[in-house]
A and B are shown apart, each in its own frame.
Chain A
Amino acid sequence: GAGVSQSPRYKVAKRGQDVALRCDPISGHVSLFWYQQALGQGPEFLTYFQNEAQLDKSGLPSDRFFAERPEGSVSTLKIQRTQQEDSAVYLCASSLHRGTGYTFGSGTRLTVV
């Protein structure tokens, strides 16, 4: 597609529920990133893929967070047993390769109640 597509746009989850957030990067983009943006804050890095390989997951806040990109295109960010502090906008970004700039999707706003 023309841009980075994320779904759903909004998700309300009850505390303890599992959620899955999807990212469709720009076709052909090798690098894919997930960021978490809390209200009033800048985006914070969660994890990074180069093709299907997860090269850096140092930003994942706990073992409840898991990301995958099995075929090197679409990626899913899964959060198990959601907590209120997980409420944030989750942004996905892709780039053709290192140093070429990043295109962000519109994000998924997750609200845990």
Chain B
Amino acid sequence: EDKVVQSPLSLVVHEGDTVTLNCSYEVTNFRSLLWYKQEKKAPTFLFMLTSSGIEKKSGRLSSILDKKELFSILNITATQTGDSAIYLCAVEGDTDKLIFGTGTRLQVFP
């Protein structure tokens, strides 16, 4: 059965800290792994990863995929209070649906 496991479930840090969020997966015929940020209701797209070892960066956020070990990490450097959100990891396999993890709730305090 396809599944996605995220860790930690919850993380509390101070502004300026660096955090690493983990996502491991099992999926039939992997196509892509996606990271989303969910602040209120709408998940907003961060990254789509399809190839191993190629880091994607957007400002203070970066992500990388390891298709051999079946995991991805999302790094956030110099965290700000605006980074407080739930971070969702999802994978796409040979069906057209996304399989989501339960998310990591990040709280950044000043």
Contact = CB atoms under 8 A, between A and B. Distances in A.
B102 A48 contact: no
B69 interface: no
B32 A99 contact: yes
A4 to B, nearest CB: 8
A43 B43 contact: yes
A109 B34 contact: no
Contact of A89 (B32, B41, B96): B41
B48 interface: yes
Interface in A32-89: 33, 35, 40-45, 48, 50, 55-56, 59, 89
A107 interface: yes
A43 B102 CA distance: 8
B40 A106 contact: yes
A101 B103 contact: no
Interface residues of B, number: 25
B98 A45 contact: yes
Contacts of B32: 99
Contacts of A56: 95-97
Nearest to A49: B96
Interface string B44-85: 110010000000000000000000000000000000000000
A86 B4 CA distance: 23
Interface string B1-36: 000101000000000000000000000000110101
A99 B31 contact: yes
Contacts of B96: 31, 33, 48, 50, 55-56, 98
Interface of B: 4, 6, 31-32, 34, 36, 40-45, 48, 88, 90, 92, 95-103
20 contacts: A33-B96, A33-B98, A40-B102, A42-B90, A42-B101, A43-B43, A43-B90, A43-B100, A44-B100, A45-B97, A48-B96, A55-B96, A56-B96, A91-B41, A91-B42, A102-B34, A102-B45, A103-B45, A104-B44, A109-B41
Interface of A: 31, 33, 35, 40-45, 48, 50, 55-56, 59, 89, 91, 98-99, 101-107, 109
